[in-house]
């Protein structure tokens, strides 16, 4: 059944950080929402590109490109795509709300297992 999804309403349904929730599925990918604050872990995804669209707050994305560590700040209405294979570490000083788009096969911590790893995602 076709339904409309209100992103702010979905984000109001939970408070925990670093726990992505599925809010849509298309073409073998999931649309997810997640709240983040603090540092994630350095990781990469071998086979998946990931899109991060900021709805609220400010995301600092640290990443390694051509052997050099860089970062960028992403605010509301902005997105970044992290290509497969790219080491990255999402981080935020303030609580930040993000829409993720990534293949269904994507594990949040990519090649790393840590306390941040979430194996089974909830659909809301």
Smaller CB separation from a copy of itself, 76 or 114: 76
Query: What is the spatial distance between Cα 61 and Cα 52, in angstroms, rounded to a whole number?
Result: 10
Instruction: Output the smallest distance, CB 18 to a copy of itself, in A.
Output: 22
Between the alpha carbon of residue 27 and those of residues 2, 30, 69, 106, the distances in Å are: 15, 8, 32, 14
User: Under rule CB under 8 A, which residues in 43-82 are in contact with a copy of itself?
Assistant: 48-51, 55, 63, 65, 70, 72, 74, 77-82
**Cα distance between residue 37 and residue 4, in whole Å:** 28
Q: How far is the CB of 121 from a copy of itself (least distance, A)?
A: 17
Which residue's structure tokens are 């979430």?
118
The answer to the question of residue 85 lying near a copy of itself (CB under 8 A) is no
Footprint of a copy of itself (CB under 8 A): 1-8, 24-27, 29, 31, 48-51, 55, 63, 65, 70, 72, 74, 77-83, 86, 101-103
């Amino acid at each position: 059944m076709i339904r409309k999804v209100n992103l702010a309403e979905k984000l109001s349904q939970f408070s925990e950080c670093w726990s992505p929730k599925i809010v849509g599925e298309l073409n073998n990918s999931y649309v997810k929402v997640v709240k983040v604050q603090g540092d994630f872990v350095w990781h990469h995804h071998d086979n998946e590109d990931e899109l991060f669209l900021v709805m609220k707050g400010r995301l600092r994305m640290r990443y390694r490109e051509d052997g050099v560590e860089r970062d960028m700040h992403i605010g509301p209405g902005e997105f970044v795509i992290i290509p497969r294979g790219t080491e990255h570490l999402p981080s935020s000083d303030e609580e930040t709300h993000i829409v993720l788009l990534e293949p269904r096969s994507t594990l949040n911590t990519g090649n790393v297992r840590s306390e941040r790893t979430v194996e089974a995602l909830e659909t809301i």
